[in-house]
Each structure stands twice: as structure tokens, then as C-alpha cells.
Structure 1
Amino acid sequence: MSRSDMSALPDAVFRSRPALGLPLLASEISVLFRRRRTWAMLASLALIPVLIALAVRLTSSRPPSGRGPAFLDQVSQNGLFVSFVGLLVSVPLFLPLTVGVVAGDTIAGEASAGTLRYLLIAPAGRTRLLIVKYLATAVFCVAATLAVAIAGALIGVALFPIGPVTLLSGDSIAVGDSIVRSLLIAAYITVSLLGLSAIGLFISTMTDVPVGAMATTIVLSVVSQVLDSLPQLDWLHPWLFSHYWLGFADLLRQPISWDSFGSNALLQSGYIVVFGALAFGRFTTKDILS
């Protein structure tokens, strides 16, 4: 290959030169978080608790109990609840939407841009590249949930009084403990999104059109939640990847019940194994033409 041909290769070749797992992963995460789209999605997620807090702050009357998301009526009394409400509102649609965009773009985005073939020139190998793509998506899941939790905590402190938090069990915990609970909920939601990330990765290996992979992943998250709401399909509910998404209420009891966390982690692990294997089978046998 001539020097002029080398200069024509996409930047993806050179950023993928590190073949070891950690350097390649660090490179992939760096690329992901240098994209304006990534920061736009994180900013949009952070805006959700901010809008909730502003709406409550600018409303003269306290939201009636039982109306709207859980804990909404507590926000004006304690700003720490803004983070809880923000996470609760984000789980059904906004977080899956952003994760669907990132997961759907993992392989299909490279194929669409014509860089996938050049990425595989490096001695990383298809399997390692697939793992790195998934881990980068998992890192985004962490960043997305923390964006909501941290923005909620900051705007809550800025606009409302802060004090001990009353849990669902009726017990009160100190401010420091409530922050720990918020981080646990963020961890729970991050785990909840890992199964969807694996599904998105698999779909991304099946097409060269990233928008199609993104849309399919997002639609599947909505379909799963719709099916989970139908009592006629009770037998199916425990197998749906979205079944435990809102089960973090157990983390707001004293003492903490870890049953939902464990069940959720086990379910998501199953989806990671199944769809990870499907993605591996598809990607390792796929003809890379772009």
C-alpha cells in the first residue's frame, strides 16, 4: 500500500491500532464521548429533572398526592426527591431511546460510514471489536443514568429545602444515605439497560443502516413494556427484559430488599448471553463489504 493510499484511509484505522483490550476500549469510549450527538443526548436527559423541578417550583399549589409520577408531591418539601422523580420518568422512554441510538449505531454505524472493514484490518479481531463496542455502550448507560441523577440532585438543592428523606417503608434516612440510595437506583437502572444494549448490538450486526438498527431497538423497548402491561400475558412478563425496570422501589425501603435487584440482574444477564451469542454468530460470519 502506497503512502498516498495510507493517507486516504479513514481515521478509524489509526484510532483502532491499539490491539490490547483496554487501549482499544479507551479509544472507543473516547470516540463515543467526542461526538456532539452523545453530549446532546446526555444534556437532554439532564434537562428532564431540571424541567420537573422548575415546573414544581413555578407552580403555586403542591401537586396532589397520587397524581403524576411517584414522589412528585414530595419535591417541594425536599429537593432530594427531584433525582428520584427524574429517574422514574426517564426509565420508560428517554433512557431506552438514547441507549437504543448508541447500541444501534455500534456496528451498523461503522458499516454505513465505510470504516468497519478498516477497523478489522487492525489485529483487534471481530470478537474483541464486538466486546469493546458493547462495553462502550455499557459505559454510556452509566453516564446516562448519572446525568439524570446528578442533574436532579443539583437542581433540587438549588430550588428546594433539603432534609431527611422518608422512605416507602415509613423510615427516615439522612441526606448522605439518601444520596447513596440515588446512586443505587442509578446502578439498578444501568443494569436494566444492559439487556437492551445487547439486543441493540445484535440488531446492529444485521444491517448497514444505523437508523434502522436504532429504530428497531427503540421500538422493541416500547413493545416489551406494552406486553408487560397486559394482564393476559402474565406468563410472559417475567421473561421480558423490561419487566423489572421499575422495580427499584425496593431500594427505597428500610432495610433494603435486594430481591428485585438480583432478579433484574439475572434477567439482564440472560439477555446479554443470548443476544451476545447471536451477535457473535452473526458478526463473525458476516461478509464485511464496507
Structure 2
Amino acid sequence: MSRADLVHKDLPHGPRNPLWTFGILRSELGTTLRRGRTLALLGVLAAVPVLIGVAVRIETGGGGSAGAGGAGPAFFGQITNNGLFLVFAALAATLPVFLPMAVGVVAGDTIAGEAGAGTLRYLLVAPAGRTRLLLTKYAATLAFCLVATLVVAVSALVVGALLFPVGDVTTISGTRIGFGDGLLRAGLIAVVVAASLSGFAALGLFVSTLTNSGIAAMAATVGVLITVQILDTIPQLGGVHPYLFPHYWLSFSDLLREPVYWDELTKNLGLQAVYAAVFGSAAWARFTTKDITA
């Protein structure tokens, strides 16, 4: 059954029915997660913790500690002592590039991909309205952010438990917390990492409304990501760094302090909210006035 048939046959009657909105969101998320491209991206994300865990295991022979290599918070050096740290290390390793690239591909394809496939106009035949369709696309992208982050976290947790001992967690502050508390913080960190991608997801949604080519939208979104990441590393541009969406991404490490440092975490979530509002509004303004020809 095509997506066009699904809009009219499988969804509850009446766009004002809450079940109708939930149905189209479920349909959109299901379609996204079933795509071969999406499954390949999730497979790559799941493989990263495996590669990190195996590399650390080989380097240390199951004992000693792995060098952090100066990359991000000192999670890598703790992996051999506690496999739970593989979750934090894997998220720190994937957040700068792999996770946002996966989100950029999905977000860039939201509207442009439908237009390129010739299904966007038919979706709008259903009396849902462009605003609701756009919100559904964004909600499905945010759900993918969470799914992608959880794939990394769960893969890392399984690999860490298989290759290394697990137990009480030594925080960055030097205090010790129970394994259950550490697991809870790992879950909270995964949620924060997913939320950290919400601003970039809105930017990708906006780019997707500018073209009818899914490939062009995905390439442009990933290109913006790379450009902003480069700008965030140039010391001479330090004055604008706090306003770039990836600047506070690694602030999730503050959740492993005792007590938790909320300053940069709050700045990060606030910045993502601003990006989501600005580019979400821009996407709405563009999409609601755009001539749909495909």
C-alpha cells in the first residue's frame, strides 16, 4: 500500500481527531525507520561503540587504562574500569559528526524527499493543512534523534558489559555513585544528547523546504553542519562560538559531576530552543507559501 493510500484508508477520519494526528505521525516515523538509508545510518551508529570497545580491549588487554587521546571528556580512560563509561565515550565520539550527519540526512529529506518522489502534493490533498504536516515531519525527525541516540547508548551498554566490568561509577568530580544511579544518568544523558540535536533538525527542515531535491537538501544540511563545526574551532571567532548550535553539545558531561553543573547544560538547551524556534518559523513561512508542483 502506498503512502497516499495510507493517508486516506489507514488513518482515523477527520484531521481534528487527535488519533488522526497520531496516526500520520506513526506513519511518518515508520516510513522513515523502514528506509534502507535510515537503517544503514543506524547500523553505522551501532557499530561505533563496538569499534571503540574492541579497540580499547585490544589496547589494554583487558587491564590498565586506555589513553583518552585528549579527545573530549576523560571517558575513554575509564572504560576498562567500568563498561558503563563506554556509553559516555561513544556518545562523545559520535555527537560531533556521526549523530548530526544522520539527523541531517533525515531532516533534509523530510519535505524535499516527498517533493522529489512526487508524493508531497498528494499528502496535502488530505485536509490536514501544511502546518500540521510540517509539525508532523519535525516531530518524526525529533523522534529519530532520540532513536539514533538510544541506538548508540544501548549498543555501547551491551558491548561495555560484555567486554569490561560494570559497577559503581566514579564521577568526574571524584565521588562515587551506585551503578543504578549511573545507569539513570546514562539515560538522562542520552535524552540530553537527543535534545541537543533539535536545533539542527529544525535547520535541516528549513533547508528541506527550499528545494524539491532530497539529495540537494541532505547535502546542503550536512554542508552547513561541517561549516559551522569548522567555525566553532577557529579561535579568532571566539565571540560568535556561544551562538553556534554545536558549541555546547559536549556539555552533557556535566551530568556526571556531583553535584551536577547546570550552567552550560541550560545554555545548550536554551540555544537549541532558539534555533528550533527561528528555523522552525522560517520553515513554516516558506512551506505555507510555497507552490507545490510535485
Give the TM-score band, short-chain normalised: over 0.9
Q: CA deviation at 1:51?
A: 0.8
- What TM-score results when the alignment is normalised by the length of structure 1? 0.93
Which one of 169, 173, 177 corresponds to residue 173 of structure 2? 169
Distance 1:248 1:54 in 2: 24
Check conservation: 2:52, 2:90, Cα contact below 8 A. yes
Distance 1:193 1:52 in 2: 23
- Give the aligned partner of residue 88 of structure 1: 92
Distance 2:151 2:144 in 1: 10
Q: Partner of 1:246: helix, strand, or coil?
A: helix
Q: CA deviation at 1:76?
A: 1.4
Q: Partner of 2:166: helix, strand, or coil?
A: coil
Alignment deviations for residues 80-121 of structure 1 (CA, whole Å, 9 cap, x no partner): 111111000001100011000100000000001000010001
Distance 1:159 1:102 in 2: 32
- Give the aligned partner of residue 188 of structure 2: 184
Distance 2:70 2:264 in 1: 24
- Give the aligned partner of residue 153 of structure 1: 157
Q: CA deviation at 1:37?
A: 2.0
What is the correspondence of 1:63-102 to structure 2 with a 5 Å cutoff? 65-69=67-71, 70-102=74-106
Check conservation: 1:13, 1:121, Cα contact below 8 A. no
Q: Give the counterpart letter for 2:47 in structure 1.
A: L
Superposition CA RMSD, Å: 1.5
Distance 1:247 1:223 in 2: 21
Which one of 197, 212, 218 corresponds to residue 193 of structure 1? 197
Q: Give the counterpart letter for 1:211 in structure 2.
A: I
Percent of aligned positions that are identical: 50
Where does the alignment leave 5 or more consecutive residues of structure 2 unmatched?
none
Distance 1:123 1:66 in 2: 54
Do residues 235 (structure 1) and 239 (structure 2) align? yes
- Give the aligned partner of residue 52 of structure 2: 52
Distance 2:262 2:38 in 1: 32
What is the correspondence of 1:1-16 to structure 2 with a 5 Å cutoff? 11-16=2-7
Distance 1:68 1:231 in 2: 18
Q: Give the counterpart letter for 1:11 in structure 2.
A: S
- Give the aligned partner of residue 283 of structure 2: 279
Check conservation: 1:110, 1:116, Cα contact below 8 A. yes
Distance 1:45 1:253 in 2: 26
Alignment deviations for residues 141-164 of structure 1 (CA, whole Å, 9 cap, x no partner): 000100111110111101111121
- Give the aligned partner of residue 6 of structure 1: none
Task: Tell me the number of residue pairs that the alignment of Structure 1 and Structure 2 aligns.
Answer: 281
Superposition misfits of 4+ residues, deviation over 3 angstroms: 60-66
What is the correspondence of 1:227-266 to structure 2 with a 5 Å cutoff? 227-266=231-270
Q: Which stretch of structure 1 is more off in the superposition, 60-69 or 126-135?
A: 60-69
Q: Which stretch of structure 1 is more off in the superposition, 219-228 or 61-70?
A: 61-70
Q: CA deviation at 1:68?
A: 5.0
Check conservation: 2:65, 2:79, Cα contact below 8 A. no
Q: CA deviation at 1:224?
A: 1.4
- What TM-score results when the alignment is normalised by the length of structure 2? 0.92
Q: Give the counterpart letter for 1:85 in structure 2.
A: A
Q: CA deviation at 1:63?
A: 5.3
Q: CA deviation at 1:36?
A: 2.3
Q: Give the counterpart letter for 1:49 in structure 2.
A: P
Distance 1:114 1:152 in 2: 39
Q: CA deviation at 1:59?
A: 2.4
- Give the aligned partner of residue 34 of structure 1: 34
Q: CA deviation at 1:65?
A: 4.0
Distance 1:236 1:126 in 2: 34
Alignment deviations for residues 17-63 of structure 1 (CA, whole Å, 9 cap, x no partner): 33332121111112112222222211210110111111111224655
Q: Give the counterpart letter for 1:174 in structure 2.
A: G
